Structure 1
Amino acid sequence: MLVLGLDGGGTSLKATLAKDGRAIKRKIFEKGVNISAVSAEELERTIKEVRGWSGPVDEVRAAFSGAGDPERKAVLTAVLEKFFAKSSRMILSDAEALIACLYEGKPLTIAIAGTGSIVVGIDENGRFVRAGGWGHLFDDEASAFSIVKSIIVEALLHVDGLVGHDPVFHELLNYYGFDKLEQLANLQRFSDFKEKIASFARVMPNTQLVKRIMKKELKLFTDRVRQVLALTNADRVLGFGGMFLNEEYRNIFCSMLRDVEFEHLKLHLDEALATKTNLKVGFK
């Protein structure tokens, strides 16, 4: 049985093709597929590329950021049906997919911080719990997009003469190929602005300003973690997503949760979806 596992986020789409529970090949498509930030046409182009790479499969198991919303899920379903019409299909949010892959009957709490952010969990009765994840306009604190957006806000305040200079501003100019900080405002004109802005988090230096922003945003994010821990009665928190690759970010996160056991998850979600045989789905 050929299974295609997909992990679609704001900056990339990761794909694993597996046969009878064993991974055959894996590829990262450097294109964001969060339906809140890309058009259906852009999503179609990316999935068409994936179909060309994978060929026909028996089943598609897809984890997409934003797929928890019925309207966005309907768009994703239509696109996958177009290119994988003969395949059975499972579509989950990235949060649901993590729980599906990791749940073994015991309470779980997972803090996800990639392009966006959310805290999710499941209690001993299989009840799904969430806090946050309402999108980049309303929260997503401590995510790559939110942190970099806050850095850009500070850079533009510096242009206005309201705050001092920080070395991260120079790195912003180098990364985006701009000559002046004022040009950072043009990022919002791109259709994939969310992806472009969030991508800077991979290379940003941990300057004093960046640390201050991370501390401010992690305060609310860790409050969400405590809320989900209390509701699930889990005894630890699992961290997943690109922001947890930043050592300073992890240190601040753990310092705010000193009394909570932490584990940094390093699994490839697309590979786990493609190879795992006993996925837990259908949460209460």
Structure 2
Amino acid sequence: MKLWGIDLGGTKIECAVLDADKNLEVVARMRLPTESARGYEHILSQIKKLIDMVSGEVQEKPSKVGFATPGVLEPDSQLMKNSNTICLNGQPLKADLEKVLGIPVQLANDANCFALAEALMGAGKDYPAAEVVFGVIMGTGVGGGLVVNNKIIAGHHGIGGEWGHNILEENGEPCYCGKSGCVEQVISGPALERFYERTSGSRLSLKEILEAYQEGKNEHAVATIERLLEYYGRAISTLTNVLDPGLIVIGGGVGNIDLLYTEGYERIRKYIFNKGVITTPILKPKLGDSAGVFGAALL
């Protein structure tokens, strides 16, 4: 049995086909540019074109396809929302895809697909007893996905796992969601760079800030990384208090910072509602940028 997945990104659309009968072996992978500037209808045509190309390569057509999408399909209206590919918002993407492709499709947020893939094919393979897996995205933005017993929990409003838009810093920076001080406005890569610029008067990339922190001579770099660790500890401890996952996997560029898995772990210990005891494995992902498209196929 072949499992088909599409990762619908802002710049690229990727298709992968997995063989469920051969331990999820990758049968085919192919990409096309999204070309989202050309509009919603063009994205639909690019998706159909890509599926037709892959069908030719594997010598069969899909009977259904899973999609990892930016944003989510609102359960009640069946329209897309919260997508940074703006032209998708307000569109009946699932219905239109089924019309264009002539087959059933399943949609899930890309962070949920990341979590599902890591739970079943990535870091989670070493923790088969973990019933609850939370996939964290910490990069340009902050998001997350929740998997319970190998199933995505999208939630009543389709926003399950959206920990990036809870208030972390009182009176903090305004967020596009309408609130201020959201997790995303505190510990995302751009937010940390803005904090450094605001306090030091000069601009550095997060990589440069981390290097300056490690040298120990730049007080503003030290303050920026200290801010990351402290607020990361608070945010993850809240997540742990609510869900108590058996495994947390952290993707995104900020998630590559090794301090999160050492000193950051100690900061979680400070705030967790368990007398300072935390044994939750918190790991880097194993699938890299394949997680989205693999998670889509696993839908």
TM over 0.5: yes
Call closer, same or farther: CA 1:147–1:243 in 2, change over 3 Å: closer
2:193 is the alignment partner of 1:151:
yes
Larger RCO, structure (CA 8 Å, separation 6 or more): 1
| Aligned-residue offset at 1:212 | 5.0
| Aligned-residue offset at 1:148 | 2.7
Residue matched to 1:182:
none
Question: Within 1, Cα distance between the matches of 2:12 and 2:144?
Answer: 21
| Aligned-residue offset at 1:61 | 1.0
Map 1:87-126; keep pairs closer than 5 Å: 87-101=103-117, 102=119, 106-121=131-146
Question: Within 2, Cα distance between the matches of 1:29 and 1:205?
Answer: 35
The counterpart of 2:254, out of the listed 238, 243, 263, is 243
**Two-structure CA RMSD over aligned residues (Å):** 4.3
* Partner SS state of residue 80, structure 1: helix
1:106-128 per-residue CA deviation (whole Å, 9 max, x = no partner) reads 1223222244322444567x894
1:124-156 per-residue CA deviation (whole Å, 9 max, x = no partner) reads 7x8945342449613461799x4236636866x
Residue matched to 2:93:
76
Question: Within 1, Cα distance between the matches of 2:27 and 2:44?
Answer: 24
* Partner SS state of residue 47, structure 1: helix
Question: Within 1, Cα distance between the matches of 2:200 and 2:105?
Answer: 51
| Aligned-residue offset at 1:23 | 1.6
Question: Within 1, Cα distance between the matches of 2:14 and 2:7?
Answer: 5
2:287 is the alignment partner of 1:264:
no
- Quick one: which amino acid aligns to residue 176 of structure 2? L
* Partner SS state of residue 50, structure 1: helix
Question: Within 2, Cα distance between the matches of 1:272 and 1:54?
Answer: 18
Residue matched to 2:14:
14
Map 1:1-284; keep pairs closer than 5 Å: 1-10=1-10, 12-20=12-20, 21-29=24-32, 31=34, 40-41=40-41, 43-44=43-44, 46-55=46-55, 56-67=61-72, 69-70=74-75, 71-72=79-80, 75-85=92-102, 87-101=103-117, 102=119, 106-121=131-146, 128=153, 130-134=161-165, 137-138=176-177, 139=182, 141=184, 146-148=188-190, 151=193, 163-168=200-205, 206-208=210-212, 212-213=223-224, 215-216=226-227, 219-247=230-258, 253-254=264-265, 256-257=267-268, 259=278, 260-267=280-287, 268-269=290-291, 270-274=293-297, 276=298
Question: Within 2, Cα distance between the matches of 1:210 and 1:43?
Answer: 42
Q: Which range moved further: 70-79 or 131-140?
A: 131-140
Call closer, same or farther: CA 1:151–1:96 in 2, change over 3 Å: closer
Compute the TM-score of the two structures, normalised by the length of structure 1: 0.60
Call closer, same or farther: CA 1:142–1:26 in 2, change over 3 Å: farther
Residue matched to 1:183:
none
Q: Is the 8 A contact 1:11 1:32 kept in 2?
A: yes
- Identity rate of aligned residues, in percent? 17
Question: Within 2, Cα distance between the matches of 1:32 and 1:140?
Answer: 30
1:58-79 per-residue CA deviation (whole Å, 9 max, x = no partner) reads 2211122312544217533144
- Quick one: which amino acid aligns to residue 91 of structure 1? L
Question: Within 1, Cα distance between the matches of 2:265 and 2:12?
Answer: 27
Question: Within 2, Cα distance between the matches of 1:16 and 1:272?
Answer: 10
| Aligned-residue offset at 1:205 | 6.7
* Partner SS state of residue 14, structure 1: strand
Q: Is the 8 A contact 2:8 2:68 kept in 1?
A: yes
Aligned pairs, how many? 233
Call closer, same or farther: CA 1:236–1:4 in 2, change over 3 Å: closer
Question: Within 2, Cα distance between the matches of 1:45 and 1:149?
Answer: 36
Call closer, same or farther: CA 1:149–1:224 in 2, change over 3 Å: closer
Call closer, same or farther: CA 1:121–1:8 in 2, change over 3 Å: same
| Aligned-residue offset at 1:96 | 3.2
